[in-house]
Chains A and B, each alone.
Chain A
Amino acid sequence: MEVVGDHGELEAERLGPRRVLDEVERRVLLRGEPVAERGHRRSLPRAAGAKPRGRDGYDQGVDATATLETLLREAFPGARELAVEDRTGGGDHFQVVVESDRFEGLSLVEQHRLVYDALAAPLRDGTIHELRIRTRPTARSQEPVDTGGSTT
């Protein structure tokens, strides 16, 4: 892939070191939750008006969260869990969670590559400024995720 998704924002500076650490801790804690209960999260539509059309011919900007969800649903039909969260409300920092049988037998790198492939267009045109990915094969869905990180 020639074009690189941009993570250019100076997040550590913006949030401060303490805030970054809190975010890491929060994510570790979240691992214990059954993902299905977190449900679908959508940002509110940001502004009324005509939808700008992206270079790649998909709706862009007005509700990028919905756009990402549509692309993921096309790539992972029948996904047991599929959620797109706008982490900051700004419409460009996203966390996606996908549970699909397409991930069966794949390494995490291969699983994330499938997500990147599905979201290639918004990655390419800068709609996605930051992307966090959580994937799992459907077969593991009944098992709580063992993070190994919460010992006493």
Chain B
Amino acid sequence: MTELRDQIQELISSEQVSLFMKGTPEFVMCGNSDRALRALQAAGAPITAVDVLPDPRIRQELSALSGWPTIPQVFIRGELVGGADIVEELCASGELQQRLDDALGTERELVVRTAPLTVSPNANTRTTQP
């Protein structure tokens, strides 16, 4: 099984727009995740959502990777855009759409999908690699 952190890194790098949130787009479990989701949708982003709630290690590994302490977190093509406040602010100013246009082009597939992570039942005993 791939290390959780590697899975997250791979997902952030490969997805056009990744949104790490509490809950799913169908059932949002936090007002801030909801704000980020709505802003991304308003800007026409193809969203790949990841629910951080199933295991606390998802959030720990994500924040260790990004250096960002809170949820939600939004990435465009691997680059951290920010949390709900920033995404909302960038959406309101039009800058979010511009960044999406620059990174992904204007012909975007407006989809919202979810990407589950595979979390081992006992990831704490993972083997350490150099």
Q: Is the CB of A4 within 8 A of B32?
A: no
Stretch from A7-15, A37-45, A77-85 forming part of the interface with B: A7-15
Contact B30 A108 (CB under 8 A): no
B29 within 8 A of A: yes
Chain A residues positioned under 8 Å from B89 (CB to CB): 108, 134
Contact of A149 among B22, B67, B92 (CB under 8 A): B92
Known pairs A9-B30, A10-B30, A12-B30; A112 contacts B64 (CB<8 A): no
Interface of B: prevailing SS: helix
Check B31–A23 contact: CB distance below 8 A: yes
Do A10 and B29 contact each other (CB < 8 Å), given the known contacts A112-B83, A113-B67, A131-B70? Answer: yes
Verify B82–A112 contact, CB threshold 8 A. yes
Does A24 sit within 8 A of B, measured CB to CB?
A: yes
Task: Determine if A7 and B94 form an interchain contact, defined as CB atoms under 8 angstroms apart.
Answer: no
Contact B30 A109 (CB under 8 A): no
Given contacts A4-B60, A4-B63, A148-B92, contact A112 B85 (CB under 8 A): yes
Q: Mark A63-101, 1 if CB is under 8 A from B, else 0.
A: 000000000000000000000000000000000000000
Known contacts A1-B63, A116-B69; A15 and B31 CB within 8 A of each other: yes
A-contact 0/1 string along B59-82, CB 8 Å cutoff:
110011001111100000000111
Q: Is B93's CB under 8 angstroms from A146's CB?
A: yes
A12–B34 CB distance below 8 A: yes
Q: Are B93 and A109 in contact (CB under 8 A)?
A: no
Interface size class on chain A is: 35 or more
Interface centre among B31, B70, B83, B88 (most CB of A within 10 A): B31
Nearest Cβ in chain B — how far from A20, in angstroms?
A: 5
Instruction: Give the complex CA separation of A15 and B30 in angstroms.
Output: 10
**Distance from A28 Cβ to chain B, minimum over Cβ atoms (Å):** 6
Distance of A148 Cα from B43 Cα, bound (Å): 13
- Check if B5 is an interface residue, CB within 8 A of chain A: no
- Chain A nearest CB, measured from B70 CB (Å): 5
Distance A31 CA – B68 CA, assembled complex (angstroms):
24
Is the beta-carbon distance between B88 and A4 smaller than 8 angstroms? no
Cβ-closest chain B residue relative to A123? B69
Residues of A within 8 A of B31 (CB): 11-12, 15, 20, 23
Q: How far is the CA of A108 from the CA of B30 in the complex (A)?
A: 22
Contact of B82 among A1, A4, A108 (CB under 8 A): A108
Q: Could you show 13 A-B contacts with beta carbons less than 8 Å apart?
A: A1-B68, A4-B60, A4-B69, A4-B71, A5-B69, A7-B70, A13-B29, A20-B34, A113-B67, A132-B32, A132-B84, A133-B83, A148-B94
